Structure 1
Amino acid sequence: MVKVTESRASWVASVFGLAALYVLGTVTPLDVIDSYLGGINVTNLLQAIFALLAIFFFNDSVRRLAKVSIVRWTYYSPLLSIPIMILSFALVENKGPTAADFIDTRMDQLATAVYSGTYMVALLFTVLRIIYMLRHEAKSLYATFSAGLLVVAAAVSCHITYVVLFQFSPWHAWARAIGSWFDRLFYVGLSVTAAGWLILFVSKQIPRLRLWMADALWLTALRMRVHADPSRVSPAWDLFNETLENGVYKSLIVLHNYERGNLMTFPESTQRRISQIEAKLDVRV
């Protein structure tokens, strides 16, 4: 897929999200993955870090799509939770053997509560920040997108309530009952959010793809055909690594430099197409 500005963070978020799913044991058995890491549930820590990074970069992609400027302390503050999570995880006693219920079976330890609570607070902060960024866009697809995020926020709030009640009150059974709603709500909210985001993102990009895709592909093919680049992979790399407009602009520069360097001009039909693309760029500027 050809990149556009706001899709870059979305791609990174997807990579971290897939990594988080992998260490859940959905692809390779959990005990097999964790055995390579000492068999002490380090996969749980990795899953939490990967998931947090996924939603962090997803937040950045939404920010770019909604054209919201960075407020640095709110933007980077969720990442401060990662060293706290690592330290508190290290203080958990009897971390092994590998188990899917690692958190629940060790919630009586303060270190576990700090580890799990910090992770969830960081997630909740990031989700609420995304919802706040979209507060003026509460309509159509943005409304569906925000509704899914609200369900995710409710799920995370359930887990935070579970941690606090279990650690600081005698109502352990009630705390577990509230915490059990996390999985039920989280995956429903995540599914709605993912569907809304995909539809929203594609709908935003269709006009741009229609406007520039054909020109970008034609210019890339021309660069390859005439060997305008020192490297054979440069045209394809620019197509995938640049935004469509930037890729078109860069291809035009490369082709003009090729003409000047070889003291030649392209055929009239090719020149006419290049002139049309340049005129389109001038209009966009």
Structure 2
Amino acid sequence: MRSIPLAVLITFGILIALFLLRTPVALKQPQQRPAWIATGAGILGLLTVGAIVPLEDIDALLGGANIVSLGKTVLPTIAFWFLRDAIRLQITPPRPRGNRLVLLTLVVVQVIAFVLIPGREGTDENFVNQAVLSPAGLIWALLYTGGVLWIAATAAVEAFSIFKSIFGLFVIGAFMIAAACLALAIHCVLVFARTLPPRSDDALTTIFALFFYTGIVFAAFGFVVLVTRELAWRAHLLRLLRINRLYPSSQGGYDVPQVGGPFTGSPESAAYIVLMKIRDRQLLDSIELSAGHERIVSRIERRMSRTLVLHNFESGSGER
């Protein structure tokens, strides 16, 4: 099991880098905030694992009443909720985001159930095993496992149905997390009913740990693919905007919105708009690009064509 803390540590570092990298854009563009919030919640959630900072130290700062265990349930719930919203924004046309009132209700009820759990004094890494012996503890655990299972599964289904290759790692990770939550829910119910078969305790907790933390790593790397792809298209968009503005015409054909302005879709769709504008101006305005600029535009055009073919293939295979 030593590989799990190491993998969590690597994932933690990646998430911090992504969070810092996306902060300037997220503060300016609302459509970038779901992924940014998900990353921040994921960073805080990984702190509650104990692989980065000892749980005793974190819990002591929070009052020493196993509040860190509440963080283990609330933070992943928030992270996956906003990550699903980020996935939905990648779909064309973007799908509606989740109702924040549902998320707020889920979190508040978790907190209330947790507060009602008796005997929360001291820091216990396996607090859930003792907590679920009480009705409040069982409700708290099932709200967490059921909520994350639902959010992760729906996010995986939506990502798989639209972008199979791009979100492959995320899909695998999300389904693994959903399976882990199912195993933990079964474990909690059996513990509460005091019908847990011999040696099944270790088996179910091992399944949860293996699937959950491995799933987090897969989902995080899938998220890296998403962010890297988005940043690449944003760079292409900036190049196209710059090239377009270098060739003004009497007809005003260079008037293309700035990135972060009226563009409401993904950076890829915005880049497509600017690319078509440049090609139209070459025909209608008779502008001539320099050899270097033509190479840049053609290279982006080829990449865009490959992406469109891939999306059409995936959409077609999904319909079948």
Could you say what secondary structure the match of 1:180 adopts?
Answer: helix
Match of 1:171 in 2: 196
Which residue among 192, 195, 208 is the counterpart of 1:182?
208
For the aligned residue pairs, the C-alpha RMSD in angstroms reads 3.2
User: Of the candidates 188, 194, 199, which is equivalent to residue 225 of structure 2?
Assistant: 199
Distance 1:169 1:11, change over 3 A: same
Relative to structure 1, the CA distance from residue 213 to residue 11 in structure 2 (aligned partners, 3 Å threshold; closer, same or farther) is farther
Does the residue aligned with 2:161 lie in a helix, a strand or coil?
coil
Structure 2: how far apart are the matches of 1:22 and 1:141? 28
CA distance in 2 between counterparts of 1:85 and 1:210 reads 44
Q: How many residues align?
A: 230
Q: Give the C-alpha shift of residue 211 in structure 1.
A: 2.3
SS in 2 for 1:103: helix
Matched with 2:277 is 283
Aligned to 1:142: 167
Aligned pair in 2 of structure 1 residues 183, 211: CA closer, same or farther (>3 Å)? same
**In structure 2, distance between residues paired with 1:188 and 1:72:** 26
1:208 matched to 2:245? The reply is: no
Counterpart residue type for residue 219 of structure 2? T
* 1:70-89 → structure 2 map (5 Å cutoff): 70=96, 76-89=101-114
Shift of 1:248: 9.8
Amino acid at match of 1:10: A
- Deviating beyond 3 angstroms after TM superposition, the runs of 4 or more aligned structure 1 residues are 4-7, 23-28, 213-216, 279-282
Matched, 1:245 2:252: no
**Runs of 5+ unmatched residues, structure 2:** 1-20, 246-256, 264-272, 279-320
The 1:206–1:38 alpha-carbon spacing in structure 2 relative to 1, beyond 3 Å, is closer
Percent identity at matched positions? 21
- Summarize the Cα distance change of 1:176–1:8 in structure 2 as closer, same or farther, 3 Å threshold: same
* Cα distance in 2 for residues equivalent to 1:87 and 1:121: 16
Cα distance 1:32–1:139, how it changes in 2: closer, same or farther (>3 A)? closer
Contact 2:241 2:274 in 1 (8 A): no
Change (3 A) 1:244 1:185: farther
Quote the residue 2:286 is aligned against: none
Question: 1:206 and 1:82, CA in 2 relative to 1: closer, same or farther beyond 3 A?
Answer: same
- 1:78, CA displacement in angstroms? 3.9
Aligned to 2:140: 115
Amino acid at match of 1:208: R
Contact 1:213 1:244 in 2 (8 A): no
* 8 Å contact kept, 1:30–1:98: yes
Task: Report if the CA contact (8 A) 1:85-1:119 is conserved.
Answer: yes
Does the 8 Å contact 2:85/2:98 carry over to 1? no
**Alignment partners' CA distance in 1, 2:130 and 2:185:** 16
Structure with greater Cα Rg = 1
Match of 2:61 in 1: 36
Q: Is the 8 A contact 1:155 1:182 kept in 2?
A: yes
Equivalent positions of 1:86-105 (< 5 A) are: 86-105=111-130
Relative contact order: is structure 1 or structure 2 higher (C-alpha 8 Å, sep ≥ 6)? 1
Question: By how many angstroms is 1:214 displaced?
Answer: 8.0
Matched to 2:277, the amino acid is V
